[in-house]
């Protein structure tokens, strides 16, 4: 083989090897977390469909092509964001559900754990709320449907047990109570900011106090009940 041909072949092989090396770059875990955190904020603010890889790269201060060294698509990014959040959420939930707590204590612990997850994964919670129904139609995101079912069974089980044991009102509409608890807890992702005035545990305590004990003092509630009964008796007189 002539020298020029060998040189060209050698140069081609070197370029190929260099290209192969580039495609196998493994980012550090810290860098991946940084990029996923940035992507989560963009997805939460703009929506999954409206978000482009270029926009995420711009927010991360890098070229769009460079982002592909770390993730092969925006689908991979949102997948990792949601699966990480749900895996951590269920680790906490399973610990609560396996602790043998009473029904009220179970509800209290689930609410507290939920607010802790909002503190850790606020953007991921917002994405889950906005995008899970759409994403779950894709095979890759089938775990979102499974998680919704597990979530419902966990909460309904605690509420049903509470009614059966007399801890919660006998006339409680279980499914309505579940939807109220679910929606009012997770909507906090739209306004909560880490490092604010109240810790996740304090927010959970205040929330539980309002939901389980009401927002009026017990003396005031007792007075209202007496007034209501008196009014009912008066309207029932001939």
Residue-wise burial string across 131-160, b where 16 or more C-beta atoms lie within 10 A, e elsewhere: bbeebbeeeebeebeebeebbeebbeebbe
| Domain covering 1-72 in this structure, CATH number | 1.10.10.60
Query: Structural domain boundaries of the chain?
Result: 1-72, 76-238
Q: Which CATH number fits domain 76-238: 1.10.3980.10, 1.10.357.10, 1.10.3720.10, 3.30.930.10?
A: 1.10.357.10
Please tell me the pTM assigned to this model.
0.76
When computed from its CA atoms, the radius of gyration of the chain, rounded to whole angstroms, is: 26
**pLDDT value at position 26?**
61
- Considering 20-24, 98-102, 167-171, 183-187, the range whose residues carry the highest mean pLDDT is 98-102
In this predicted model, what pLDDT tens digit does every residue of 153-173 receive, in sequence order? 999 999 999 999 999 988 889
* pLDDT classification of 99: cutoffs 50, 70, 90: very high
C-alpha to C-alpha distance for 123 and 226, rounded to whole angstroms: 46
C-alpha to C-alpha distance for 183 and 176, rounded to whole angstroms: 11
**Count of residues for the chain?**
238
């Amino acid at each position: 083989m002539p020298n020029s041909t060998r040189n060209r072949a050698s140069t081609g092989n070197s370029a190929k090897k260099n290209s192969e090396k580039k495609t196998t770059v493994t980012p550090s875990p810290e860098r991946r977390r940084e990029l996923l955190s940035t992507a989560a904020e963009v997805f939460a603010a703009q929506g999954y469909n409206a978000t482009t890889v270029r926009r995420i790269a711009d927010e991360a201060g890098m070229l769009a092509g460079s982002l592909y060294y770390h993730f092969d698509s925006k689908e991979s990014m949102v997948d990792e964001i949601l699966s990480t959040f749900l895996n951590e959420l269920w680790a906490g939930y399973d610990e609560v559900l396996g602790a043998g707590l009473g029904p009220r204590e179970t509800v209290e612990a689930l609410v507290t754990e939920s607010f802790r997850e909002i503190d850790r994964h606020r953007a991921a919670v917002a994405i889950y709320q906005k995008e899970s129904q759409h994403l779950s139609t894709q095979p890759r995101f089938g775990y979102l449907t499974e998680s919704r079912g597990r979530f419902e069974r966990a909460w309904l089980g605690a509420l049903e047990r509470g009614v059966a044991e007399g801890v919660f009102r006998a006339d409680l509409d279980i499914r309505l109570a579940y939807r109220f608890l679910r929606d009012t807890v997770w909507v906090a992702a739209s306004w909560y900011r880490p490092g604010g005035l109240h810790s996740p545990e304090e927010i959970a305590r205040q929330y539980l106090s309002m939901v389980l004990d009401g927002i009026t003092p017990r003396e005031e509630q007792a007075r209202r009940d007496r007034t209501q009964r008196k009014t009912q008796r008066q309207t029932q007189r001939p």
